[in-house]
Chains A and B, each alone.
Chain A
């Protein structure tokens, strides 16, 4: 990411704010009135009390389907599916798909045999790895033989690993029954529109019945296949996650409609992701200057969809060959040559024992969260509806336990009285380089969390501390190593006290920038 773009462009923010207020107006008349039985809370952070037991059992250790699980359980993708049957304007197949993968780097393509070998090696090394997904780099169902061969062989060797795949949906209806055969209980469908007139601006062509179909006809066929495929999976009891790429000016308000339509058809989760778009990606959108959304534009659309299909807020838009916890990528440790040298012992008991330990820790974190939410104070004379965003530096385990300078991403929580809601994460360039603060990266960190009132860290140096304060973001290290929700609510209580006593004046914050490109270990080194 270029440092030239570190500062938030004021003109762009003006535009964003206008867009945000338009979206909110639409929302007021849109899905807000048709929420039905949908929960107002973020569905992915839902726990065992919020859903039927059989569904909880399916999602509790799937990092993408459960916000809580993603702190504890890891996933991996194997790149066995390079072919695709449609063209998207945000994707350039010369490299990887830029929305699901870090652009500009060709991943190592694997045969099904190589993929299975890799999965078994990773699962032996990382016992909390519970999920294998096939997410491309093309479309899993445009490569049915490679995809299903991989699943079949893996089931024989590692039966405890959950299987999932992602698809654009074009080939879904014809393969829905095949998916059920392999016991795949999670499928992600990328649905960016429910109106072919919108779809026409996103999809230049599809390959359908031996023909390249373009324009409105292509978008119509794709839309019909997506809806039919989703309905078929719902009817067969497969959990579905809908991924939508938010493209400002193309489908931003329309995603509220998408949310409504996919909820109607039984989608379990809706994941609204920001468009990744830079000219150097060589995508149509990158080359035509189509920008991605700002953090507040993304949040406005996500908030407008609350009450509809449950939202996923912890997506990291990871690569088609990612390995590890969401937000980390250990794929470099498991290249084909390295796997060849590893001694692989697949020990099911060891994995089970480890996962039981993880489960105890997850429950402790959940209990701390419930206790913290119950303990918040009321009636202090400050606006009871006050809501602020805070950024948190964490290395995992649900705690405030990372040094400001070591953070490559911040988790964002929306805090109000009695609630600390996880609303997303922001990638940043690593501030601390070998013990020295990198002055040039600080503005980009500030830009990424500019909409936050405070940043909670385990520790922070004097220099960034002063600059954050100057930018109006309070650096807080008093809650080091506490559980995040507890720390967030304690800080918020303290903040309200200070507002009540007049020590500080509550002010609204600005917008923030979304850093382009998925997180990867090599990006960290290059930063």
Chain B
């Protein structure tokens, strides 16, 4: 269970990075990636995945 950022849609704005409660997001080559080993999809932490809620591009972050 993990989420994935579609690199071609990512604007590299970094809004998701500080919102992740698991510190699973980092920059790589101008866009951002999610470490699937750390991602919990915010289950039990928040109502909805924080990265998806803050991302300015619709459908940029999906289930891996």
- A residues near B (Cβ < 8 Å) are 82-85, 87, 93-94, 109, 137-138, 142-143, 145, 207, 210-212
Contacts and interface: CB of A to CB of B under 8 A. Distances in A.
Chain A binding surface SS class: loop
Interface string B10-24: 011111001100000
The 7 closest A-B pairs by CB, nearest first: A83-B15, A93-B56, A212-B53, A82-B13, A207-B54, A83-B14, A83-B13
Given A211-B47, A212-B48, A138 B53 contact: no
Q: How large is the interface on B (under 10, 10 to 19, 20 to 34, 35 or more residues)?
A: 10 to 19
30 contacts: A82-B11, A82-B13, A82-B15, A83-B13, A83-B14, A83-B15, A83-B54, A84-B13, A84-B56, A85-B54, A93-B56, A93-B57, A94-B11, A94-B57, A109-B12, A137-B13, A138-B13, A138-B15, A143-B14, A145-B18, A207-B15, A207-B54, A210-B19, A210-B46, A210-B53, A211-B47, A211-B48, A211-B53, A212-B53, A212-B54
Interface of B: 11-15, 18-19, 46-48, 50, 53-54, 56-57
Contacts of B19: 207, 210
A139 to B, nearest CB: 9
A85 B15 contact: yes
A147 to B, nearest CB: 12
Given A84-B15, A84-B56, A207-B53, 14 more contacts: A82-B14, A83-B13, A83-B15, A85-B15, A85-B54, A93-B11, A93-B13, A138-B13, A143-B14, A145-B18, A207-B54, A210-B47, A210-B53, A212-B54
A386 B28 CA distance: 62
A174 to B, nearest CB: 15
Contacts of A211: 46-48, 53
Contacts of A87: 56
A423 B6 CA distance: 46
Contacts of A83: 13-15, 18, 54
Contacts of B48: 211-212
Contacts of A84: 13, 15, 56
Contacts of B14: 82-83, 143
Q: Which of B46, B48, B53, B54 has the most CB of A within 10 A?
A: B54
A203 B15 CA distance: 18
A82 B54 contact: no
B62 to A, nearest CB: 16
B15 to A, nearest CB: 4
A82 B12 contact: yes
